[in-house]
Amino acid sequence: MVDSSGKKENRLCIVSLIGKSTLFEQQCNKSWKLNQLIQMPSFKEHSIIDNEDDFEYYYDHLNNTIYVHLRSFHDTYQLLHLIDNINDDTSIKNFAQLWENKQANFIKKSLICFLLSHIIIISHSSHTFDLNYLRFFRIIELLRHKTKPAILETIRSLNLFKETDIYMNDGRLCVPRALFIFENHHHKGTDIPGGGDRDDDQKLINMAHNLEDIIFNALRCSYIISNQM
């Protein structure tokens, strides 16, 4: 990282990836996006034996960056594994309770990402914004405020930060930036007679701008972001 004077700073950056993988990634998960970002196969892209929700980490010592991947039942291969277990295991009788437990575990682990990360990448399995994330963001914010006293006490015990820095970030190590990644756009150049690559690129740009407007308006109308944020 470089400061305003042009000198290189030895500051740590944490980038987290949460969200969903596509239906077509039945034997893979969304971690390939991080592998593509750091240009090396640091995360396992294929299904693994342990199908529990968990974190994967990779430390890029050259850029002093920690990449975090949250595996969850939102990854297609884990969801398929869960369905297979439900079909085979007669002890699992209440699917609604199981799903609720999975959701709760996902939110708890996502909260850790929001408390520690500088950048959070939220993966979508399609080209449309999932409105369920509005409820997800509200729950995360509610949990963050409820756990704030315990978090502040833990941060103080580390003796790594100034008191003003702790309060400036409202009990977080930093205020994270959220980036949304979308997949499987429905437009293809072959679908449009006479459509060329330039037309395809422009349509993708227009689609991206439309998504930005939709997300911003949805977050504003839900009071998840405000003029002060």
Cα separation, 16 vs 149, in Å, equals 24
The model's confidence at residue 1, banded by pLDDT at 50, 70 and 90, is very low
Higher pLDDT: 167 or 33? It is: 33
- The answer to whether the Cα torsion of 111, 112, 117, 119 is positive or negative is negative
Residue 228: pLDDT over 50: no
Closest of 104, 100, 111, 176 to residue 141, by C-alpha:
111
Residues 35-55 pLDDT 10s: 888 887 777 766 555 556 688
Higher pLDDT: 201 or 13? It is: 13
20-38 as b/e, with b when 16 or more CB fall inside 10 Å?
bbbeebeebbbbbbbbeeb
Q: Which residues pair with 58 in a beta bridge?
A: 67
Residue 192: pLDDT over 50: no
Q: What share of the chain is helix, strand, coil (3-state, %, to 5)?
A: 45, 15, 40
DSSP class per residue in 183-205: ---S--GGGSTT--HHHHHHHHH
Contact 129, 215 (CB under 8 A): yes
Residues 154-190 pLDDT 10s: 777 877 666 656 555 566 777 889 999 887 655 444 4
Closest of 57, 75, 60 to residue 18, by C-alpha:
75
Average pLDDT, the chain: 77
What pTM did the predictor assign? Answer: 0.78
Residue 27: pLDDT over 60: no
pLDDT of residue 224: 81
